[in-house]
Structure 1
Amino acid sequence: MTYTGPSTFVTKGDAQAWLSVERSLISQQQWTSPTVRAARAAQEAERRRVSTFAVYADQWLEGRVTTRGRALRPSTVAGYRNALDVHVLPAFGPLPLDEITSAVVRHWRGQFAVRGNDSAGAKAYSVLKAILQTAEDDELITRNPCRLKGGGSAAKVRESVALSPVELAALVDAMPDHWRALTLVSGWCGLRIGEAAGLRIGDVDLEAGALHVRQTAQYVGRPARLVLGPPKSERGIRIVHMPAHVTEAMGTYLGTRPGTNPRDFVWTRGDGQPISRHTTLSAFRTASRSIGRDGMVWHDLRHTANTLAADAGATQATLQARMGHADPKVSALYLHTSQARDQALATALSQMADPGSGRRR
C-alpha cells in the first residue's frame, strides 16, 4: 500500500525531511499510517478539550473526603465551591490540566496581594494546590505547578482582640437585652457562633451550670440554606461549664421564653430559625464601638474566652477540652498571660528574690 504526504510540499527538501521522519519511525517500529496518526491526534485534542481544569475540579470536589475518609462538612464544601467559582475557575477553568504552569500560578496569586485581598488569595491558592496535587497523584500531570512558598498563607491583617473582664462586662451591658446571654456565653465559655446557634433549650443544664455542645447550625451556599451538623471536630462535642454569672444570665434569658420545649433553639432569628453570624452584626458593631473596640468581630469573643481561661490557670489539656480544639497546638497559643497578670508575676518573682523588700541585696 502506498501512503502520500499530508500535503504538497513546497520544496524537495521539505519532502525529504518528511520522508526521513517516516523512515525513522519505521526503523524504531513506531510507524503507523498518517491517517491513523491524524485520528489519534484528533482524539487527543478532544480529550484535552474536555479534560479541562473545570471538569476535573468538579469531579475532585464531588469525591473529596477528609483524611479519615469521611464526607466533608457542608460549610467546608461551600467554602471550596466559593473559592472555585469566584477566584479559581475564572482563571484556570478552560485550561487543560497540563497547561497550568508555575509562572501563571505565581502571577495569579500575586494579583490578590496587589488588590488587597490576600486572605482570599491564600484560600483560593490552597484549593488550587490541593486539586492539582490530586491530579499529580492521578498521573494526569507530571508535577504540581503550585510551588509558591507561602502561597497558602496570608499576611495577618489584624490582631485578635482579647477583652478584659471589665471590658467584656461593658460590652454585654451595651448589647440589647436579648443578646446579652449569648455575648456572655461566647465571651466566657468560648462557644463558636455556630455552636451557640445550634444549642437547644434541652442542651442547657441550669442546675449543673453546663452547656452540652452537640451540634452546630450554619447557613451555607448561595442562596444560604440552614445546615445542622456535628461540631468542627470530634472534640467539639463536649460539656462546657458556665461561670455562675453566666448561668444566672442564661436562666434569666430562658425565663423570658415561656412555652418553649427542649427541642427549641436557644437563640433564634425573627423567623424562628437559628441565628447566624450576621444576626447580631449590627448590634455587636455598635456595642463594640461604644467601648472603644471598633473593628471587633464576634470570633474575638472566643479569643477572649480562651485568654481568660488561660489567665485563670487552665492547663493546656483543660483549655483544649473546654474549647473543643482538635489540635493541642491551637490551645497552646492561648497559654500566654495578660499584661496585668505578667505584672503580678514580676512582683511575685521580685518577692522570691527578696521577700522583705522586693529588691535584691
Structure 2
Amino acid sequence: MAWARSRRREKGVTYTAMYRDPSGRERSAGTFASQRAALRAAQREEARVESGTWFDAAAGKITFRDYVEKVWLPSRHIEVSTMAGYRSYLDKHFLPYFGDLRMYKILPSTVQDWVTQASASGLSPSSIRKYHVMLHSVFKRAVRDRVLASNPCEGTELPKVIAKRTRILTPAECERLLAEVPDRYRLLVMTDIETGLRWGELIALRPRHIDFLRRTFTVEQTIVEVSRKHSPTGERMIVKEYPKDDETRVLRVSQPLLDVIAADIAQRGVGRDDLLFTSTGEADGNPISRNTFRTRVWRPALERSGLDFNVRVHDLRHAHASWLLAGGADLKTVMERMGHSQIMTTQRYLHTLPDAQDKALAAFEAVRFRR
C-alpha cells in the first residue's frame, strides 16, 4: 500500500512518496510539500507495479556493455557455437555502437540509426535481420528485468530480404566435382552427399556409429568448431554428445558406400572409437577443420571441376534433400533423415533441381492427354 513519510525541516514539513517495488523493497517516488501530492505520486508508482509496467529508473543507468556481459550473456543456456557467434556479433557490431550508452538512453531511433549505418556499411539485409533478432533479445530481457519500460527494438524498420532461387548441384555436376577431390578426402564427400549430414555430424562419425549389418548410421555426436578466444575450454574442437535439436537419428545408407568405408577402416586400422575422418588421415588424427578443408581442398577442387557457380560444402546437404524429394521420397521421411525440426524447412527443397518444372509439366500432360 502506498504511503507518505513526513519529515520536519527548518522551512516546514516535507513528505516522501513511498511504495513497494515488485520484489517488496521500499521505494521513493519523490519528495513533496504536501502529503496529498506525495500520496498521489506513490499511488501512481504502485499502479505501475500492479499493472506490470513499472521499471527501475536507477537500474536503467547501467551501460549496454555491462548489462550484456554481466546479465544477459551469463543467463543464456545455448550451444557453444551459438555463444561464440553471439560474442562475435557483440564485438564486431554492437559494443562499438551501443557499448558505452546507458540502457535508458537507447531509444527506438538509436536502434534505427544502427540499422541505417549497418546497411550503409554493406552489411546484407539478411545479416542485419539476424543481428537484430539478437539485439531484440537483449532488450526483451532488460524489460523483463525492469531495467527498461519498453523494448527499443520494437517497430524497427528493417531492410527487405529478397529471396534468391537456390541453384542445386545436379548428380552429373556432383560427379565432376567429386572426381577433382583428392583421394584422401573423396570418401568424406561421398558420405556427405549420400547422408546429407551437417559438417559437425560428418566429422564426428566413428565406426561404432555404423551398423554394417542393418546398413545404417546413427547420428549421436557432433563436433563444434569455435575460436579458442571464445571457447569455454580453450579447445577449438568441442565434441557434443548429441547433434542439433538434441535428438539422435538413424540413417539408411547404401551397400556400395558401406563397402568403401569398410575397406578404408581396414586399410588405415581405424578403431571402433576413432574418428572416421581426420585432419591427417591417420586413425588417431584430429577432427578436420571446416575452414581448412574449404580453403585447401574444396575450393581448389571446385576450380578444377570447371563448374560455373559457387558450391559450398554445405550445399551437398541441400543437394541430398533435393535429390530425395525429386526421386519421390515423402516429406516426412526426408525431414527425419535431415534432422529438421519443422517440415517447412524440408519443403524448401521441393522443385529445386533444374528439370523439376519439366517433370511437373510432363506429369500434367500425361494426365491431361490420357486416352
TM-score bucket (shorter structure): 0.7 to 0.9
Partners of 2:299 and 2:66 in 1: how far apart? Answer: 42
- Match of residue 277 from structure 1: 290
Shift of the alpha carbon at 1:120? 3.8
- Match of residue 129 from structure 1: 136
- Match of residue 74 from structure 2: 62
- Match of residue 38 from structure 1: none
Are the aligned partners of 1:201 and 1:263 in contact in 2 as well (CA < 8 Å)?
A: yes
Which residue of 60, 79, 84 corresponds with 2:90?
84
Are the aligned partners of 1:178 and 1:253 in contact in 2 as well (CA < 8 Å)?
A: no
- Match of residue 78 from structure 2: 72
Q: Which secondary structure does the structure 1 equivalent of 2:292 belong to?
A: coil
Q: What is the aligned-residue identity percentage? A: 28
TM-score normalised according to structure 1 size: 0.79
- Match of residue 45 from structure 2: none
Are the aligned partners of 2:351 and 2:357 in contact in 1 as well (CA < 8 Å)?
A: no
Matched, 1:231 2:206: no
- Match of residue 25 from structure 2: none
- Match of residue 218 from structure 1: 224
Partners of 1:183 and 1:244 in 2: how far apart? Answer: 16
Structure 1 residues 246 and 293, CA, compared in 2 at 3 Å: closer, same or farther? farther
- Match of residue 262 from structure 1: 272
- Match of residue 190 from structure 1: 196
Shift of the alpha carbon at 1:172? 1.2
Shift of the alpha carbon at 1:159? 4.9
Q: Which secondary structure does the structure 2 equivalent of 1:279 belong to?
A: helix
Shift of the alpha carbon at 1:239? 1.0
Shift of the alpha carbon at 1:274? 1.0
Matches within 5 A, 1:51-200: 51-58=62-69, 59-64=71-76, 71-118=77-124, 119-149=126-156, 151=158, 155=161, 159-200=165-206
Which residue of 320, 333, 350 corresponds with 1:305?
320
Query: Is 120-129 or 310-319 further displaced after alignment?
Result: 120-129
Q: Which secondary structure does the structure 2 equivalent of 1:302 belong to?
A: helix
Partners of 1:147 and 1:239 in 2: how far apart? Answer: 42
Q: What CA deviation, in whole Å up to 9, does each residue of 1:261-306 have, x standing for no partner?
A: 1111111113821113113112211222324144221111110001
Partners of 2:191 and 2:156 in 1: how far apart? Answer: 39
Shift of the alpha carbon at 1:137? 1.7
- Aligned-residue Cα RMSD (Å) equals 2.8
Are the aligned partners of 1:186 and 1:301 in contact in 2 as well (CA < 8 Å)?
A: yes
For structure 1, the residue ranges without an aligned partner over 5 or more in a row are: 5-21, 32-43, 65-70, 357-361
- Match of residue 211 from structure 2: 205
Which amino acid in 1 is paired with 2:272? Answer: P
Are the aligned partners of 1:160 and 1:300 in contact in 2 as well (CA < 8 Å)?
A: no
Query: Is 245-254 or 90-99 further displaced after alignment?
Result: 245-254
Shift of the alpha carbon at 1:72? 1.2
Are the aligned partners of 1:214 and 1:231 in contact in 2 as well (CA < 8 Å)?
A: yes
Which amino acid in 2 is paired with 1:227? Answer: I
Structure 1 residues 275 and 303, CA, compared in 2 at 3 Å: closer, same or farther? same
Structure 1 residues 47 and 331, CA, compared in 2 at 3 Å: closer, same or farther? closer
Number of aligned residues: 317
Shift of the alpha carbon at 1:132? 0.0
Are the aligned partners of 1:218 and 1:276 in contact in 2 as well (CA < 8 Å)?
A: no
Partners of 2:208 and 2:57 in 1: how far apart? Answer: 61
Structure 1 residues 156 and 213, CA, compared in 2 at 3 Å: closer, same or farther? farther
For structure 2, the residue ranges without an aligned partner over 5 or more in a row are: 1-8, 13-29, 40-55, 230-234
Q: Which secondary structure does the structure 2 equivalent of 1:239 belong to?
A: strand
Shift of the alpha carbon at 1:166? 1.2
Structure 1 residues 120 and 339, CA, compared in 2 at 3 Å: closer, same or farther? closer
Q: What CA deviation, in whole Å up to 9, does each residue of 1:82-126 have, x standing for no partner?
A: 111221111112222111011111111122222222244333222
Shift of the alpha carbon at 1:337? 5.3
Shift of the alpha carbon at 1:46? 8.0
Partners of 1:300 and 1:111 in 2: how far apart? Answer: 32
Partners of 1:254 and 1:23 in 2: how far apart? Answer: 80
Shift of the alpha carbon at 1:208? 2.9
Which amino acid in 2 is paired with 1:274? Answer: P
Are the aligned partners of 1:211 and 1:239 in contact in 2 as well (CA < 8 Å)?
A: yes
Shift of the alpha carbon at 1:148? 4.2
Structure 1 residues 269 and 314, CA, compared in 2 at 3 Å: closer, same or farther? same
- Match of residue 23 from structure 2: none
Partners of 2:302 and 2:163 in 1: how far apart? Answer: 19
Partners of 1:109 and 1:23 in 2: how far apart? Answer: 41
Structure 1 residues 24 and 355, CA, compared in 2 at 3 Å: closer, same or farther? closer
Partners of 1:139 and 1:320 in 2: how far apart? Answer: 41
Structure 1 residues 215 and 317, CA, compared in 2 at 3 Å: closer, same or farther? same
- Match of residue 286 from structure 1: 300
Structure 1 residues 273 and 121, CA, compared in 2 at 3 Å: closer, same or farther? same
Which amino acid in 2 is paired with 1:312? Answer: G
Partners of 2:301 and 2:181 in 1: how far apart? Answer: 6
Q: What CA deviation, in whole Å up to 9, does each residue of 1:184-224 have, x standing for no partner?
A: 22222110001001111211233333211101001113446
